[in-house]
Amino acid sequence: MVHHSKNSRRLALNRLASRFCVGLMSAALLAGCSPSRPAPEAEDEAHLPGGDDPYREKRLAMVETQLVARGISDERVLDAMTRIPRHRFVPRSRWPVAYGDFPVPIGEGQTISQPYIVALMTEHLGLQGQERVLEIGTGSGYQAAVLSRLAKEVYTIEIIPELAERARLVLSELGYDNVSVKTGDGYAGWEEHAPFDAIIITAAPSFVPSPLTDQLVEGGRLVVPLGQKGKTQMLTLIEKKEGKLMGKALCPVRFVPMTGEVEESGQDE
């Protein structure tokens, strides 16, 4: 009976995702028509462990030309991404390209997502500041850093030990002390810290594991790229309303596949 419920839920979401096809760049606006935003009065203290930050201007340009120009309007998201030193989350050799409009390799076959996608996924969580958030797929730790400036507590799980340890170290060095990093498979979530007001999955499963939706509070939001390995996925917003999961397709994306039990379960056929 439980197995049937999982499949029904997954199939409903997959049908919804396939029904919509929203171009990734369809929300783009002419940069010259974008409203101007004042620069922050003060930098996040975590930016300046060794003095002035030479990448501040690149961050400002990233926010204006990649985020605001494409319709990202949540001021808290924009401010967080203006202040957080994205370059610190990629290998030093890639610092000069850390603010480019594309994903950047971080090792172990993984990448840090394009800034616009980070902003888009974060904005759709609708965070107000008091939430407990779960992230599946820590990667570089950058998404967790963004979440840490928008929520009260962030719990993030990374299946690759080397990435988990690196992210834990960088987040600690930069002072993001409301982020807890766990090494392990995100399929089962993090039950001891559940329930969560919001969940974000930064790798693509073909279905949403039921332990994750079970750990989402009533009225909570979950953002996930849904799709098959090697194919374009659909970024999907899922909301829990009266115990039911309501899905909305956002735009096509391409993420690395979610690995671990989600691959081995055999439920994606």
52-62: per-residue pLDDT in tens?
A: 689 999 999 99
Collect all residues with Cβ–Cβ distance below 8 Å to 241 and sequence separation of at least 6: 218, 219
Predicted confidence (pLDDT) at residue 85 exceeds the cutoff of 80: yes
pLDDT tier for residue 263 given thresholds of 50, 70 and 90: confident
Q: Summarize the confidence of residues 150-155 as an average pLDDT.
A: 98
Strand-pairing partners, residue 179, are: 154
113 is catalytic: yes
Q: Which carries the bigger pLDDT value, residue 16 or residue 253?
A: 253
Q: What is the pLDDT of residue 52?
A: 65
Catalytic residue among 5, 8, 73, 113: 113
- Residue 81's region, left for phi above 0, alpha for psi from -120 to 50, else beta, is alpha
Predicted confidence (pLDDT) at residue 269 exceeds the cutoff of 80: no
Show me where the domains of the chain are located: 2-34+56-259
Look up residue 204 and give its DSSP letter.
Answer: B
19-36: per-residue pLDDT in tens?
A: 333 333 333 222 223 333
Which option is the CATH number for 2-34+56-259: 3.40.50.150, 3.40.50.11540, 2.120.10.70, 3.30.930.10?
A: 3.40.50.150
How far is residue 163's CA from residue 91's CA, in Å, rounded to a whole number? Answer: 12
How far is residue 222's CA from residue 125's CA, in Å, rounded to a whole number? Answer: 7
Q: pTM for the whole thing?
A: 0.82
Q: Where are the alpha helices (DSSP H) in the chain?
A: 2-19, 56-62, 75-83, 115-123, 142-148, 161-173, 210-214, 261-264
- Map tokens 């379960």 to a residue: 265
Spell out where 21-169 has E strands. 104-107, 110-112, 132-136, 153-158
Helices 115-123/75-83 angle, 10° precision = 140
Q: Chain-wide mean pLDDT for the chain? A: 85
